[in-house]
Structure formats: structure tokens, C-alpha cells
Amino acid sequence: MKRCAPWLLLLTMLAACLTPLSAAGPAAPPAADRSPAVGLAKSIATVTGIAISPLLGTGAYGAYQWATAKDSAARAALPWYAHWSFFLPALLIVGLCAAKDSLGAMLPPGFKKPLDVLETIENKVSGLVAAGAVIPLTMDTLSKLVTGGAHTAAAHGTGGFAMIQAADFSWLLDLLTVPFGVAVFAVVWMASHAINVLILLSPWGAIDAALKAARTALLGLLTLSATINPWVGAALSIVVIIIAYFIAGWAFRLTWFGSEFCWDFFTLRRHRFTPAENNNRLFAGANLAGVPVRTYGRLERNPEGVLQFFYRPWLVLPERSAAVAGTPAQLEVDRGLFFSTVTAAGAGTLFLLPPRYHGHETTFARIYALDGGVRDAGLRRAWGVLKELFGGSAARTQVV
């Protein structure tokens, strides 16, 4: 039953949106592109496209509405995101981010990482703005189109039953379309935002550019498909939505990790932070048995010296725990350039330490009696070895 639950929830969400459309009655014969069904297809593609890249999607959507407006009066009546004072700066920022990714492939990660953090924050802010303003306006337009079509059909004498349907279900349509649109947006946005967090974690600019190009290509394909045929665009959007739905847990954990990373990085929290003597909060690594990677929780060392990880799925569900295999004597802290990890000999990474632990690795190792101590790893270790090679004795890797 648990395996079927995600499918049942997904089908219920789709049915909740489609049922009012079918109940609203057939649309008036006039123009096919004004029918509620086509409006639904276009709205799904629009919401999905904006969710993939909120700033680019909102800016491009606003520019399209501004360019296709009939006259200056129609342009004045457009929503705020369809005015040049918004979409021109938005598209300029998108262009600067693209230039940063192109040039970043030739730069060391330390020069580009602060800009990656800024772009991650921008993606969060633009996602919140789109979810709170653009998506409700889009779904409200769809709702008015559907109810308007139903009332028009009733007025043209398609039957008293159609009039009853229009009167009975218009409120239900208004109630369902906006929450449904925001839910679809949130699911797709989290999956797309995961790319920004992966860029934060990636040490090479070429990987960053490839990830960004793949996301932009998907957005372009979706836009082109929706322009050629709304139904093809809607079908592709539904595929994207379903995939995003089933990786929502992974994307949520990655999104939360990125949020903690950005907050610690920009607020210089490590200068105000001191590790607690127990119950420190961190993220699970890829090799902690029974716990999904990047799960946020707290690490506790009991009186017997055994380490246990406590966490809540989705941060709010009932608390669970997982015992850390092995003994603290087998663990060590690998100090990285931007964040550190806790690893076990032969078992890989067990925990990821947020950037606020940077500079506190020795204290952390002492608190949990990690006999492996602290050692430089990754780019930090490579830089130390390079300095040693050219005579920088002060940069020698030390194991505490």
C-alpha cells in the first residue's frame, strides 16, 4: 500500500483539477484556442516553465504578454511582471548569470563560488515571488476562462443542466486551480532548484555549465512545444511534473542543504558559532545506513560512546533514529575548502557539516571522540600539497 500511495496522491491531485473542468460543461463553439481545455494545457505548460527557471520564465512570459498586447491601453492593464521595468532587468540578470557560468568554466571554483551562492539565493527569492504572485494570476486567468466559457455555453442554450453546472462548480474551480497550480509549481521548482545546489557542491565550472545548459534546454523545448501545439507542451509538462513529484524528497533535502549553505556562507555564521557539547545539527552523508542522503538531523553521543543520528522526515514528521556503524575511533573529519565531512575508514562519507563548522573541525572531533582527528581533503588538500611542492612549509597537511 505504501508503494501505491505516491501514485494515488498524484492521481488525486490531477483529478481534483480536471473534474471541475469536465463539470463546467463544453465550451462555446467559437475559437478553438479560447476553449477551457486549451487554456488548461497552456496554463500547465506556463506554470511548469516558470517553475523550471522562475526569473527567466517570469521575465520571458511578461515580455511575451507585453509584445502581444494590442495597444498601449492593453499594455497598461497587464500585470506588474509584464511591464518592461520588471522583465528587462530580470532578463539582464539571467544574461549575467549565463555569462558567469560560461566564464566560470575557466576559473578556479573559489573565484566563482560566491557568485553561485548569490544565484542560488536569487533562485529562491524569484521562486517565492512567482509562487506568491505570478502563478495565482495565471491560474485565476484559467479559472475565469473556464467559468466564462461555461456561462457562455449556458447563455447560448446548451441546456439547463449546463447552467446548473456552471452555477454549482464555478466556486469549486476557483478553490482548486490556484492551490493546484502552486503545488505543481513547488514540486517542479524544487527539482529545478536542486541544480543550483548541485552547482554549489560541484568543484568544476564545466559541470556547472553543463547542468545549467541542460535546464535551459528543457525550458526551451517546453516553450517550443507549447508554442507549436499546446497539447504537446502540456504532455511534456506532465512528464516533467511526474518526474519532479517522485524525486521531491531528494530535491527537498538538497534544497534545505542549499539553504543552510547559503545562510552560513553569507552571514559568516562560523564566526558566531560554537559546536555544542552534544546534539549538533548536520546532514547525513551517502553512506549512513537507512538514512537518505542529506537528511537534516542531530548527532548524539550517548554515555556508552555510541553515536546516534536523530532526524524527522520532511523536518516535521515523527522523529526517527539511526545508529552509526562502527566506533568513534574509526571516524575522522575531512576538512574541505567550503564545508567538511565526517568519514569512516572503508565506509565513505557518513555526515556533511554545514559551513558554520568551518574552523571548528578540531572541536567537533574532540566532542565526539573521533580518534581519526582532522585532515585536509579535496581542493584544500590539493592546494596544500601544491604549496608544499613550491616550498610553502606552512601549508603542510597536518593530522590532529
Answer whether residue 191 shows pLDDT above 90: yes
Answer whether residue 159 shows pLDDT above 90: no
Q: Which pLDDT value is given to residue 108?
A: 61
329 DSSP assignment: G
**Percent of the chain whose pLDDT exceeds 70:** 72
**Burial of residue 277, with CB atoms counted within 10 A of its CB: 0-12 exposed, 13-18 middle, 19 or more buried:** exposed
Q: Mapping DSSP to helix (H, G, I), strand (E, B) and coil, where does residue 79 land?
A: coil
**Percent of the chain whose pLDDT exceeds 90:** 30
Answer whether residue 147 shows pLDDT above 70: no
Mean pLDDT rounded to a whole number for the chain:
78
Q: In what order do the strands lie in the sheet with 320-323?
A: 320-323, 307-311, 296-301, 280-284, 348-353, 340-344, 331-335, 374-376
Measure the CA angle with vertex 325, ends 319 and 327; round to 5°. 115
Mean pLDDT, residues 150-155: 46
Answer whether residue 271 shows pLDDT above 80: yes
pLDDT tens readout for residues 322-355 = 998 777 778 999 888 778 899 887 678 899 999 9
Answer whether residue 381 shows pLDDT above 60: no
- In the CATH hierarchy, which top-level class contains the domain 271-395? mainly beta
Q: Where in the chain is the domain with CATH 2.30.29?
A: 271-395
Answer whether residue 284 shows pLDDT above 80: yes
Going by pLDDT thresholds of 50, 70 and 90, the confidence category of residue 387 is very low
Mean pLDDT, residues 3-16: 51
Position of cell 542543504?
257
Mean pLDDT, residues 184-200: 90
Are the beta carbons of 191 and 243 closer than 8 angstroms?
yes
Whole-angstrom CA distances from 318 to 115, 310, 312 are 37, 10, 6
Q: Which pLDDT value is given to residue 376?
A: 78
Are the beta carbons of 112 and 204 closer than 8 angstroms?
no
Are the beta carbons of 178 and 8 closer than 8 angstroms?
no
Write b or e for each residue in 3-36: b if 16 or more Cβ atoms lie within 10 A of its Cβ, otherwise e.
Answer: eeeeeeeeeebeebbeebbebbbebbeeeeeebb
Going by pLDDT thresholds of 50, 70 and 90, the confidence category of residue 393 is very low
295 DSSP assignment: -
Answer whether residue 172 shows pLDDT above 70: no
Mean pLDDT, residues 77-82: 89
Among 10-24, 43-57, 219-233, 259-273, which is the least confidently predicted range?
10-24
Residue 393 or residue 52, greater confidence: 52
Going by pLDDT thresholds of 50, 70 and 90, the confidence category of residue 319 is very high
Going by pLDDT thresholds of 50, 70 and 90, the confidence category of residue 207 is confident
Q: Which pLDDT value is given to residue 300?
A: 94
CA dihedral 358, 364, 366, 369 (to 10 degrees): -140
Whole-angstrom CA distances from 253 to 17, 36, 76, 312, 315 are 28, 37, 42, 11, 9
Answer whether residue 15 shows pLDDT above 60: no
pLDDT tens readout for residues 39-62 = 778 888 888 999 999 999 899 989
Mean pLDDT, residues 188-205: 84
pLDDT tens readout for residues 92-128 = 998 888 787 777 666 665 667 778 888 888 889 898 8
**Residue 316 C-beta-side C-alpha neighbours within 13 Å:** 1
Q: Which pLDDT value is given to residue 399?
A: 33
